[in-house]
Amino acid sequence: MCGIVGGVGRGIKQHIDSNIRLLSNRGPDSEKSLALGENFLFAATRLAMTDPHPRSDQPMQDIKSKNCIVFNGEIYNFKKIKKQLISDGINFITESDTEVILKSLQYYGLESIKHFEGMFSFAFYNSTKNTILLSRDYLGKKPLYYSMSKDYLIFASQLDIIKKYLSNLSLDYQSISAYLKLGYVLSPKTMYKEISSVRPGEFIEINLKDLQIINKQCFVPYAITEPANLDIRKVVRSALNERVEGHNSLALSLSGGIDSTIIAIETARLGLNCTAYTMKWSDSDKITYNRDFKAAQIISKKLGISFFPVEMPSIKSLSDQIYKYVSAMGEPNSNPNGISMMALYSQIALHGHRLVLTGDGADEIFGGYERYSLINRSRNLPRFNNRFINKMLGLSDTKYKILNSFALASASTETWEYWLRWHEISTTKYLEKNFKDYTFQHVLLDDDALAMFLRINGGKVGPVMFRDMKTWLSMESNVKLDRISMRFSIEARSPFQSEKLIGVGYNKMAASRFNFLNKQILTKHYPELLSLPILEKKNGFLSPLGHWLRNSNNLILEHMEYLSNNFSFDKKELLNISKSPMEGDYKNFRFLWSLIILAAWHNSENYN
């Protein structure tokens, strides 16, 4: 795992040399830069997880071709790819996955990206073509930002090192609008017009002669489009083995749900030195928030796994925790679980762990979310993609309840409008009325092989699960997990996001026309779950948002005033929504929290 940065342009070397320390959390073990030409530099910091010797430090350059790579992530099938390269007469000098990527791109070209299984972002310099190739893994597990004009190109794992190179940055109100709508930023945009994100599952080829993009494509890994006919349990076990190979100890984020408990079952079976960590809320007004802790405690005991409850922050420290969180994220993300995750990973780091396993991703493959069952209730009804029905999907106010219910039952599940109805935290009508700069645009997903497969074989719910995977999981959940874990120099790995498991899982779901929801396929293959106190209704770790807001009136007013002074919000509405916690107006809690996070992020950006 690494932090990567590089570029070409006036002052780029001095800038990177002066600011590479910003990537030290992503790579505390080494720091190195390599000049590839005049005002042309690659650099990286390294968290040494695979082949932890200086020979595998980055940037890594091929002596003969002068091609060069900086790479952030882990390629779990690199030994298989390396074996093929060796059979083709290609020699290696390290045991790292970095060299495998370098040689694959050098000898097999762009097509080799589809063979990579794991999490990655990289920049590859092709000296013969005089190009730079930027790419990210299919589920956006590793970040990669860039900014480019006719005079410069700069890319990095973090926004802050790019921002310091630029001047006169301007806010992107499409991204702010998307954030207010969903609670996070949609790739490829960022909160700044001048900076973009490489999309999950995308590669971008840039000609260095004139700094123009000459090739931009989305890809789907072969392990997903051409899945093997394997048993689910064998694939889960294989994915976990790939992610723990070479590590003597690890941590497990255990919530008490099916996903993380399956990981616990497999780590216990392998006899791994594993400690399960869960969240404990002493400062909360409801017992709901400690269900995770109690279930995880019993599960750990029954499986013989070490267990450590992590005490979550109190209300007294909430303001401080918010600013630490937005600093780690780099961009606003309004999921309140982010505050809890900061505390969780901070404690895991204090215990010296560098590797954490999580259960993220199983819901999007095996139909774990409640909305999938609700969608399937009307699976036999005809559905239509027309403007009138799609417009009714946005009428979520109480007085339009009947029309909205009709639209949910009759609208095409393949449309962006339908997916948005399940995810939005504020309606278009409300935002257009109360935020003058509202300018939300849809995100168009490419009609790749997997999307086509789900249109044919996915029933009514398959397209929604696909968009959840490519939007929610890739642009919200994985972004949050990466930024928080790497803030504490920890590599978080999710076996359920194995490309092989996605391919096999979707094939088995398709065989049932996506009618085996609620993770029935997983529970069938793990009957021992029946003897454990698995939480039936599980939405991941919870945070007591209502408790926080009801007891933080000064914090709320302070941040609403900041928004009033710095954004085009309706001041009267800001005052109204600030009263919602005291009035028991639960439907506005999440949006109020989004406003607080936006204010904290913007204030932090200006301060820094």
Q: What is the DSSP string of 503-569?
A: HHHHHHHHHTTT---TTHHHHHH-GGGGGS---SS--SS---HHHHHHT-HHHHHHHHHHHHHHS-B
Region 217-241: what's the mean pLDDT?
A: 94
Burial class, 497, CB count within 10 angstroms (exposed 0-12 / middle 13-18 / buried 19+): buried
Question: What is the average pLDDT across 215-237?
Answer: 94
Q: Of the ranges 87-101, 317-331, 440-454, which one carries the lowest mean pLDDT score? A: 440-454
Residue that the structure tokens 């005033």 belong to: 561
pLDDT tens, position by position, 574-595: 999 999 888 877 778 899 999 9
Ramachandran bin of 358, using left for φ above 0, alpha for ψ from -120 to 50, beta for the remaining angles: beta
H or E element that contains 607 = helix 589-607
For the stretch 133-167, pLDDT in tens is 999 999 999 999 999 999 999 999 999 999 999 98
Among 244, 304, 253, 256, smallest CA distance to 277 is for: 253
Provide the pLDDT confidence category of residue 379 given band limits of 50, 70 and 90.
confident
Query: In this model, does residue 48 exceed pLDDT 80?
Result: no
Please check whether residue 439 is in contact with residue 175, taking contact to mean a CB–CB distance below 8 angstroms: no
Q: What tokens does 534 get? A: 């698995």
Give percent above pLDDT 70 in the chain. Answer: 95
pLDDT digits (tens, 9 = 90+) for 261-284: 999 999 999 999 999 999 998 877
* Band of pLDDT at residue 445, cut at 50, 70 and 90: low
- Between 291 and 508, whose confidence is greater? 508
Q: Please state, in angstroms and rounded to a whole number, the distance separating the CA atoms of residues 508 and 224.
A: 12
| Domain 225-365+470-531 CATH superfamily | HUPs (3.40.50.620)
Would you state the pLDDT for residue 307?
A: 97
pLDDT at 53 over 70: no
* Lowest mean per-residue pLDDT among 27-36, 305-314, 378-387, 444-453: 444-453
**What is the residue extent of each domain of the chain?**
2-219, 225-365+470-531, 545-607
Choose the weakest-confidence range: 129-133, 354-358, 532-536. Answer: 532-536
Confidence of residue 98 (pLDDT cuts 50, 70, 90): very high
Residue 607 has pLDDT above 60, yes or no: no
Check whether 187 has a pLDDT greater than 90: yes
Backbone angles phi, psi at 146, to 5 degrees: -155, 160
pLDDT at 397: 60
- 226 contacts: CB under 8 Å, gap ≥ 6: 503
Per-residue pLDDT, 535: 67
Residue 536 tokens, joined: 């039936």
What is the structure's pLDDT at 153? 98
Q: What is the pLDDT of residue 537?
A: 59
Mean of pLDDT values over 204-209: 97
Which strands make up the sheet holding 131-136, listed edge to edge? 60-61, 68-75, 118-126, 131-136, 202-207, 212-218
Least confident of 118-132, 219-233, 386-400: 386-400
pLDDT tops 70 at residue 446: no
Mean pLDDT of the chain: 91
pLDDT at position 289 is 75
Summarize the confidence of residues 188-217 as an average pLDDT.
97
Bond into 143 cis (ω within 30): no
The whole-number pLDDT of residue 54 equals 64
Q: Return the percentage of the chain with pLDDT > 90, whole number.
A: 74
Q: What is the pLDDT of residues 2-25, one digit of tens each?
A: 899 999 999 999 999 999 999 998
Residue 538's pLDDT band (cuts 50, 70, 90): low
Q: Using 50, 70 and 90 to split pLDDT, how confident is the model at 226?
A: very high
Calculate the CA 403 to chain-centre distance. 34
Q: Convert the pLDDT of each residue in 428-438 to its tens digit.
A: 889 999 999 99
- Dihedral through CA 187, CA 191, CA 192, CA 195, nearest 10? -30
Q: Which fold has domain 2-219?
A: Glutamine Phosphoribosylpyrophosphate, subunit 1, domain 1 (3.60.20)
- Please give the average per-residue pLDDT across 124-135, as a whole number: 97
**pLDDT (mean) for 493-522:** 94
Average pLDDT over residues 166-193: 95
Range with the poorest average pLDDT among 283-297, 338-352, 383-397, 464-478: 383-397
Binned at pLDDT 50, 70 and 90, residue 51 comes out as: low
In the predicted model, what is the mean pLDDT of residues 57-62?
Answer: 88
pLDDT at 396: 60
Q: Where are the alpha helices (DSSP H) in 61-152?
A: 78-87, 97-108
